[in-house]
Structure 1
Amino acid sequence: MINTEGMVAETAAKIFTDLCGREIPHQAEAGAYPQELWDALVENGLLLAWVSEDNGGFAAEPDEIFGAIWASVQAASPVPFAETLLANHMLDQAGLAPASGSASFAFSGADIPFGGQVEQIVLFDAKQGTISLFDNPADERRHVDSLSPDGATRFDPAGKAALASAKTNFTGRAFEALILTVRAVQMASAIEAALNLSIAHVSEREQFGRPLSKFQAIQHQLAVAASESAAATMAATQAASACARNGNDPAKAWHEAVIAKVQISHSVEAVTVPFHQVHGAMGYTQEYDLHHYTRRLWAWRDALGNEHHWSRLLGAELAVASPDQIWKGVTTGEWIAS
């Protein structure tokens, strides 16, 4: 599940409410990093929440971690909160100390979210079965185009000395499950936030003497978007629950994570089109809040492989499974072995 009421999630939500007002994402895009927000997250130990007590963390349950990530997206937070949480968790799985500052992850050649901002990069080498920590000097960051306001870079470890490196028992499949689950939670949260913004807008704005929400066409568009939002939240919740159930071996949650990524990625166009349409021209202005959610959704849809990529991988596995195996996976969560 996605626990938004536990101590970790509630602490995160309060920090984002207090220190990430609607002006913060706009200021961040203009180059003003929200240092006060980041310092509050550090001082409250939230960046170590997904780290074991042996490594200085407090080993929070995954459902609370997902609740905290949910809160960060609701606030359109422009800091690498989820990325640092996940990077530190990856280091912890190899018995390594957490990053000394902000961090992101490099995996399977994918673009690195927040790569232009973070101080360190955690690299997972699936072939070698190793986790390594690298510095990310500002003058060596290779930026790539990104729809997300968070930006992205590429990272090439060739010729670079790792600050720390160790073997891990986690497989590439396990890390795929973790990363896809985090992204699914982020995407579902962004869809819900944009939906709420759209509902508020059509309730407040009037046309021809009555609120936009009274027009049948508007109602229909938002009804479709609300259905997609509910489906996205359910898919993310299923993936989060599977990840929590299989905390010692996230690879067992791979199918739920992939299904969530596919489902929510399919929802992105179905929701972002009506969100922008019901906002009219305002939905496309830089000063308004909507794009902080929709641009991230468009970027996250393609990050780590879009819905077609993961559908092919999932379909290839299910094609060689028996009907009984598929039914057992759907009804019990015990999927076929890879």
Structure 2
Amino acid sequence: MINTEGMVAETAAKIYTDLCGREVPHEAAAGQYPQALWDALAENGLPLAWVSEDNGGFGADYDEVFGAIWVSAEAASPVPFAETLIANWLLDRAGVAIPDGASTFALLDGNAASVPFAGTADHVAVYDASKNAIALYKTADASAADGQALSPDSDTRLDFSTATPVASAATNLSRRAVEALILTVRAVQMASAIEAALNLSIAYVSDREQFGRPLSKFQAIQHQLAVAASESAAATMAATQAASALARSADDPEKAWHEAVVAKVQIGHSVEAVTVPFHQVHGAMGYTQEYDLHHYTRRLWAWRDTLGNEHHWSKTLGAELAVTSPDQIWKGVTTGAWIAS
């Protein structure tokens, strides 16, 4: 299980409980940004949790911060908390000063990249694997492509070709190290959102009655939610394994890449398996704008595609397995050490 009992996680939980009630994601979707929520997170220093003390943060352990990320996803957080954590981690690893305000991140593909919270973050930390560099841009200086984002978090493709960075620096981070962090963060968020949507569904079918008895008494409903509960448990375990691997490999995040990818694959399949029954057991209510469910399922669908969906990563792992010597396969199945370097 993800540790939600540390100081960072407990502080985040209190802030989200006090300032992110069920109305907040709805108001944010309508264009009312929850500035008080972000201000409380920033005043407590939480976006700087992974930043070293020398750069103004407090260098918290990975596993403790993952607990805060869990509670943010559980609350359907409409502010870029996890994204700022990732951006500040990138900047800190490159020795770039951390800017004030909310930030987001991007992995450059040519001159452009898909950027979450592009509409609300002040800055974006851009990782360019071709130059082994990290650059900090003002989000407003990049040009946005047209198109409506699936996620409520305004995931937008930005072009940086004409933008001038505020700062930039070389980095020794490999692309796999960056992917390991991002994929693990998304895995934790997805597992949390699945569990929150499951609890929402259980509460609904327990309260809603049809033909004189609660929906939860119908065998078909019980079967759907039993399958969803097993997928939720699998997602949580996969996210926990990835988070633990990253915590063990704090000095070299690339070592946690395989666990992060496996978690992304597993949870990507879980997303497909749970979102349909979640909406189905809610009936027509599950498809309405005013109900809470879509704040979780839309994010799940968007996070599933982060850096590639489960099919992309399955092919990547399969290609590496194909060149692994046969005598290493069983060792890999039991220890995770089967991938060829």
Give the TM-score normalised by structure 2: 0.96
Cα-to-partner distance string for 1:98-137 (whole Å, 9 max, x where unaligned): 1321111111434111111111110001011111100111
Mean Cα displacement is larger for which, 129-138 or 177-186? 129-138
Residues 93-132 of structure 1 correspond to what in structure 2 (within 5 A)? Answer: 93-109=93-109, 110-132=113-135
Identify the residue that residue 45 of structure 1 maps to in structure 2.
45
Contact 2:324 2:340 in 1 (8 A): no
The answer to whether residue 252 in structure 2 is matched with residue 252 in structure 1 is no
The alpha-carbon distance between structure 1 residues 97 and 139, as it changes in their structure 2 partners (threshold 3 A), is: closer
The alpha-carbon distance between structure 1 residues 64 and 212, as it changes in their structure 2 partners (threshold 3 A), is: same
* SS of structure 2 residue aligned to 1:106: strand
* SS of structure 2 residue aligned to 1:111: strand
The alpha-carbon distance between structure 1 residues 277 and 67, as it changes in their structure 2 partners (threshold 3 A), is: same
Counterparts of 2:20 and 2:338 in 1: how far apart (Å)? 40
- Letter aligned with residue 256 of structure 1: E
Give the TM-score normalised by structure 1: 0.97
* SS of structure 1 residue aligned to 2:105: strand
Identify the residue that residue 9 of structure 2 maps to in structure 1.
9
- Letter aligned with residue 91 of structure 2: L
Number of equivalenced pairs:
338
The answer to whether residue 165 in structure 2 is matched with residue 158 in structure 1 is no
Residues 209-288 of structure 1 correspond to what in structure 2 (within 5 A)? Answer: 209-288=212-291
Q: CA deviation at 1:336?
A: 3.2
Contact 2:180 2:256 in 1 (8 A): yes
List gaps (5 residues or longer) in structure 2: none
Q: CA deviation at 1:335?
A: 4.7
Identity %: 74
- Letter aligned with residue 65 of structure 1: V
Contact 2:216 2:222 in 1 (8 A): yes
- Letter aligned with residue 217 of structure 1: A
Counterparts of 1:324 and 1:87 in 2: how far apart (Å)? 40
Mean Cα displacement is larger for which, 314-323 or 8-17? 314-323
The alpha-carbon distance between structure 1 residues 324 and 246, as it changes in their structure 2 partners (threshold 3 A), is: farther
Q: CA deviation at 1:194?
A: 0.2
Counterparts of 1:307 and 1:289 in 2: how far apart (Å)? 26
From 152, 155, 159, the counterpart of 1:149:
152
Identify the residue that residue 171 of structure 1 maps to in structure 2.
174
- Letter aligned with residue 82 of structure 1: A
The answer to whether residue 184 in structure 2 is matched with residue 181 in structure 1 is yes
Contact 1:63 1:241 in 2 (8 A): yes
Identify the residue that residue 200 of structure 1 maps to in structure 2.
203
From 289, 292, 297, the counterpart of 2:292:
289
The alpha-carbon distance between structure 1 residues 138 and 17, as it changes in their structure 2 partners (threshold 3 A), is: farther
* SS of structure 1 residue aligned to 2:159: coil
- Letter aligned with residue 6 of structure 1: G
List gaps (5 residues or longer) in structure 1: none
